[in-house]
Chains A and B, each alone.
Chain A
Amino acid sequence: MNATAAPGDSTGDIREARTTASPATGPAVDEKPVFSVRNLWKVFGPKAERVPGGPLADLPPDALRERTGCTVAVRDVSFDVRPGECFVVMGLSGSGKSTLVRCLTRLIEPTAGTIAIDGEDVGGMDKGALRDLRRHRAAMVFQHFGLLPHRTVLDNVAYGLEIQGVGKAERRAKAGEMVAKVGLAGMEGRRPGQLSGGQQQRVGLARALAADPEVLLFDEPFSALDPLIRRDMQEEVVRLHRDEGRTMVFITHDLSEALRVGDRIALMRGGRVVQCGTPEEIVGSPADDYVRDFVRDVPREQVLTVRRAMRPAHDAGEAATGPALSPATTVADAIEAVARTGCSARVVDAGRCLGVVDSTSLLGVVAGLESTPSKSTPPNSTPSMGGFEEKTAA
């Protein structure tokens, strides 16, 4: 796989948009997860249910297809989505990420494993309960928009409410609000065919928001858009996330997009999650060579924070002088501060000096030379990950 192609259009200021997002520090870990996925499998093909857990599961994909006609799209995946976070699933095409997000609301029936939303088993829901889930609790935004070409923008946005049986006046009022919220005010009477791709996706976003769902699911929402428009839309999502604190599951194949919008990222390959962690963990401590290759071209100084660069203060003087930085400051910002003052800087959290960064340690981070930082926890042993048993992909 060509990892150099993975980082997307702009590598300029990947963290810039994110650092302002409120949940960047992460919500409390012990909060009850919104989505809780355990040992999820999706196998396409005849008699798919015999594959998960059996000896067939260990076959390489080609051999499996030849012997059974089955293809494994999602392979023994477990993760939790915490309330208020933006959980990104990223991987190249064919890695199973789109199948995974469709399994969450059973647009695709999972083959094995459990999915729970707020502790409620999704797999066991009957038709009515499932419809209720799709109508009120989880709304999805699609790569190719999925708009109805014969309806106006307003009626498209109101469509979800219409399906719920909301009265015409009420749903139109609500839809009007949503159209304004995504910045399409004045275009209510147009049809999807008269809009640009970015505008169509705004309609898709407004339609998902209109139902006021607990979780928003995005399936590569901006992949079909021009780079500049994509950037706008990403900022729109970050803004929405910051303003409303809605839980999001975001599927993408674009690493820079993942780093820009994600609080946590699950990196998929061949149906498996190979690493799950914050952007800093993914970039700073890749779990294996595949991930390392993948994140190689990411400008590290814009993702990694001074936590990774700091060293203990040599003496009290060093701990008391120099500019003060918060632990969430990116290395890039720290370099600017250090370069400007010409001396080392302090990392201060709640009035306490955690350590010191100087030009040597900062350059070490940029060059990728830093020793295993103090806080680095291999992602497969992170307690909050729900007991991942990661195997390094061959």
Chain B
Amino acid sequence: MSTAGTTVTPHITPLQAVWHRPAARKLLLLAAVTAAVAPFAAARWGSGAWPHALTVDLTGPLGRANDWIIDNRDSHWLFLYFFGHISNAIVVSVRAVYVVLLALGWAGVTAGAALLSWRLAGVRAGVTALASFAVCGLLGMWVPTMRTLALMIVAVAASVAVGALLGLAAGLSDRTFRALRPVLDTMQALPAFAYLLPVVLVFGIGVAPAVLATVVYAAPPMARLTALGLRGTDKGVLEAVDSLGATARQRLLTARLPLARRELLLGVNQSIMMALSMAVIASVIGADGLGDRVYQALSTVDVGTALTAGIPIVLLAIVLDRSVGRRSAGRNGWAQSHPPGRTRTVTTWVVSIAAVVAAGRLAGTSWPSTWTLQIAAPVNRAKDWMVDHLYSGIPGIGGTADAAAHYTAWVLDPLRSGLQALPWWGALALVAALAWLIGTWRTALTATLSLAAIGVLGRWEPAMDTLSQVLAAVVVTLLLGVLVAVAAARSDRVERLLRPVLDVFQTMPQFVYLIPVVALFGVGRAPAAAAAIVYALPAVVRIVGQGLRQVDPAAMESARSLGATGGQQLRQVQFPLARPQLLLAVNQAVVLVLSVVIIGGLVGGGALGYEVVFGLAQGDLATGLMAGTAIACLGLMLDRVTQPVKAKEAN
């Protein structure tokens, strides 16, 4: 600061020039702080991984808490009168829905789903639903599909209700909104695995905690979108409604809620997709159904069975996504939808429900066993063939297993050793610098504290392992994503080809991405990274592509009129103007990659994800909980480091 203060001469020294750049000023300040603190910290605690002296061992207290809960689960009033009731209510409702689904029979459910999709989203959605359910039956997965569906229906109903209530509160009150928003934002950035352990600690293993974890995971998007929808109501319309003398209730019911319809439907859609993704992962804590089949199969590397259960998951995701929300909330929804007469609608519904029930009763409860197709064995044969022919020895390329090994040896391992060798104070300073450069001092502080919390919990080494996998995968994702997005932005044909693919890929739950990579690369850290890349790629392509295409056509036209080449346009106009989207893409890539890298613990990814699975499998909740907390901290840190400054919003 003294440099800027003392030299008043008009001549600007290089130091002053540096000082006038905010980014440089931040870095200088941080460097000064680090230079002052680091030698002391290094001398006191050493310069390797997080010093042992600064950790707090929570294994003892957590273990005792776990024991206490297990001992008192059947006697303490908290469980008897509160958690017990919640748990029972969930189990009873899931069972009730399951029984209804079974009673409807395969024909009833299929016809019902097709009818519902048709009414909600048109003929194509109806046909998709019909075909999808038929395939689920054909694969012999009817019963697990129904179990997952029953769990989903209860979880989605609960998350939509909870989310809508929270969103209503946040939409109507500024204070609630300000309090809730950072919480919701953070919850959406955390990997699904972080939610599992707290519920297991309280509720044990079973359907109830699975549903609860799903609700906790799926409610935030609904709450967020409800609040945003309510707050985004056209001020002019609200003023007009006020000028007519509407009461607060009339205002909400006749103006704000109907005007937020788009956001509400989108919220339901997102809730459903999140719920499906979590309901599948929750098989780790006792949710049965399709996820459980995949989980069991993957643990024995039985790719055929995993695929047999994975296909219905994907189909379910596509049907749910196409039927609810996204399409029916089209931009011109108001202009197109002409509400038909109410009496006619009611009659139609009564008739169709009766038809569905009748069909179900006639056709029988479960999918006829003679109509199934066993694909597990052929798939496994194909996989064996792949192991023999593709894994290695292809001239020139090597093979998939070779590639995985190379990726592990040349990218993952050095990165991991580098991160683990990084002095702990250096890592803290690095994170602070990155977060501060992109965001504000608040985000930097949160990020640094989160990283420190991981160290305090004693999970420094595995966290660095996970971080190395995340970084390696994010770099690949961004490179590929930007390449594809640029191609799509420059050619309409590529874009048209890409769009349906992206649509499907974005709807699939994280879990199913593990199946093909295990088939292709075996188990280990490389396949986990591959799954993460495939999972995060569509979002990155979509965000970057949107950013590039949204660039002001006038700016592009003026660049062309000045004779800029394609590359110049890209570098000098499109990328700079799409900067917000590029930053968002980085943020999303990091968040999405982390969520899959953690799940990769199921297929040999090791590190934090494995510790959670291990804790659950061994009943060692203390280890699992600490790893889960470290995952949450890592997610928070990564999200904050990549979080760009948000433009001040009007409300």
Residues of A within 8 A of B (CB): 105, 107, 130-136, 139-140, 142-150, 159-160, 162-164, 189, 191-194, 204, 207, 211, 217
Further contacts, 13 of them, CB under 8 A, given A134-B244, A163-B245 = A105-B243, A107-B242, A107-B243, A134-B242, A134-B245, A144-B236, A146-B240, A147-B240, A148-B255, A194-B335, A204-B240, A207-B244, A211-B244
- State which of B131-139, B246-254, B363-371 sits at the interface with chain A: B246-254
- Interface membership of B237, Cβ < 8 A: yes
Given contacts A140-B240, A148-B258, A150-B259, whether A191 and B334 have CB atoms under 8 Å apart is yes
- Within 8 Å CB of A134, what residues of B? 242-245
Complex alpha-carbon distance, A217 and B244, angstroms: 12
Q: How many A-B residue pairs have CB under 8 A?
A: 77
**Contact check: which of A140, A191, A194 meets B243 at CB < 8 Å?**
A140
Complex alpha-carbon distance, A37 and B246, angstroms: 25
- Interface membership of B651, Cβ < 8 A: no
- A139 pairs with B244, CB closer than 8 A: yes
Q: What distance in Å separates the Cβ of A137 from its nearest Cβ neighbour in chain B? A: 10
- Within 8 Å CB of A144, what residues of B? 236
- B239 pairs with A132, CB closer than 8 A: no
Complex alpha-carbon distance, A131 and B242, angstroms: 9
Complex alpha-carbon distance, A207 and B332, angstroms: 24
Complex A-B, nearest 6 residue pairs according to Cβ-Cβ distance, in ascending order: A146-B240, A134-B245, A135-B245, A131-B245, A140-B243, A160-B244
Given contacts A150-B259, A194-B335, whether A135 and B244 have CB atoms under 8 Å apart is yes
With CB as the reference atom, state the residue of chain A lying closest to B261. A150
- A193 pairs with B237, CB closer than 8 A: no
Size class of B's contact patch? 20 to 34
- Within 8 Å CB of B245, what residues of A? 130-136, 160, 163-164
Interface residues of B in 256-293 (CB under 8 A from A): 258-259, 261
**Contact check: which of B246, B259, B261, B335 meets A163 at CB < 8 Å?**
B246
- A146 pairs with B239, CB closer than 8 A: yes
- A107 pairs with B259, CB closer than 8 A: no
Q: What distance in Å separates the Cβ of B222 from its nearest Cβ neighbour in chain A? A: 21
- A191 pairs with B335, CB closer than 8 A: yes
Given contacts A134-B243, A160-B244, whether A142 and B334 have CB atoms under 8 Å apart is no
Q: What distance in Å separates the Cβ of A133 from its nearest Cβ neighbour in chain B? A: 7
- Within 8 Å CB of A139, what residues of B? 243-244
- B334 pairs with A146, CB closer than 8 A: no
Interface of B is mostly: helix
Given contacts A148-B259, A159-B254, A193-B332, whether A131 and B237 have CB atoms under 8 Å apart is no
Complex alpha-carbon distance, A204 and B244, angstroms: 11
Complex alpha-carbon distance, A204 and B242, angstroms: 14
- Interface membership of B241, Cβ < 8 A: yes
Q: What distance in Å separates the Cβ of A211 from its nearest Cβ neighbour in chain B? A: 7
- A147 pairs with B243, CB closer than 8 A: no
- B237 pairs with A147, CB closer than 8 A: yes
- B239 pairs with A163, CB closer than 8 A: no
Q: What distance in Å separates the Cβ of A148 from its nearest Cβ neighbour in chain B? A: 6
Complex alpha-carbon distance, A217 and B255, angstroms: 22
- Within 8 Å CB of B239, what residues of A? 107, 142, 146
- Within 8 Å CB of B240, what residues of A? 140, 142, 145-147, 204
Complex alpha-carbon distance, A258 and B234, angstroms: 28
- Within 8 Å CB of B259, what residues of A? 148-150
- Within 8 Å CB of A189, what residues of B? 338
Q: What distance in Å separates the Cβ of B341 from its nearest Cβ neighbour in chain A? A: 13
With CB as the reference atom, state the residue of chain B lying closest to A127. B247
- B335 pairs with A148, CB closer than 8 A: no
Q: What distance in Å separates the Cβ of A143 from its nearest Cβ neighbour in chain B? A: 8
Complex alpha-carbon distance, A145 and B235, angstroms: 11
- Within 8 Å CB of A130, what residues of B? 245
Complex alpha-carbon distance, A163 and B241, angstroms: 9
- Within 8 Å CB of A136, what residues of B? 245
Complex alpha-carbon distance, A65 and B397, angstroms: 70
Q: What distance in Å separates the Cβ of A169 from its nearest Cβ neighbour in chain B? A: 16
Given contacts A149-B259, A194-B335, whether A159 and B236 have CB atoms under 8 Å apart is no
25 contacting pairs across A/B (C-beta < 8 A): A130-B245, A131-B245, A131-B247, A132-B245, A134-B242, A134-B243, A134-B244, A135-B244, A135-B245, A136-B245, A140-B240, A140-B243, A142-B243, A145-B236, A146-B236, A148-B237, A148-B258, A150-B258, A150-B259, A160-B245, A163-B245, A193-B332, A193-B335, A211-B244, A217-B243
- Within 8 Å CB of A143, what residues of B? 236
- Within 8 Å CB of A149, what residues of B? 237, 259, 334
Complex alpha-carbon distance, A135 and B261, angstroms: 27
Complex alpha-carbon distance, A194 and B334, angstroms: 9
Q: What distance in Å separates the Cβ of B346 from its nearest Cβ neighbour in chain A? A: 18
- Within 8 Å CB of B255, what residues of A? 148
- Within 8 Å CB of B261, what residues of A? 150
Q: What distance in Å separates the Cβ of A354 from its nearest Cβ neighbour in chain B? A: 46
- Within 8 Å CB of B247, what residues of A? 131, 163
Given contacts A140-B243, A163-B246, A191-B335, whether A146 and B254 have CB atoms under 8 Å apart is no
- Within 8 Å CB of A150, what residues of B? 258-259, 261, 334
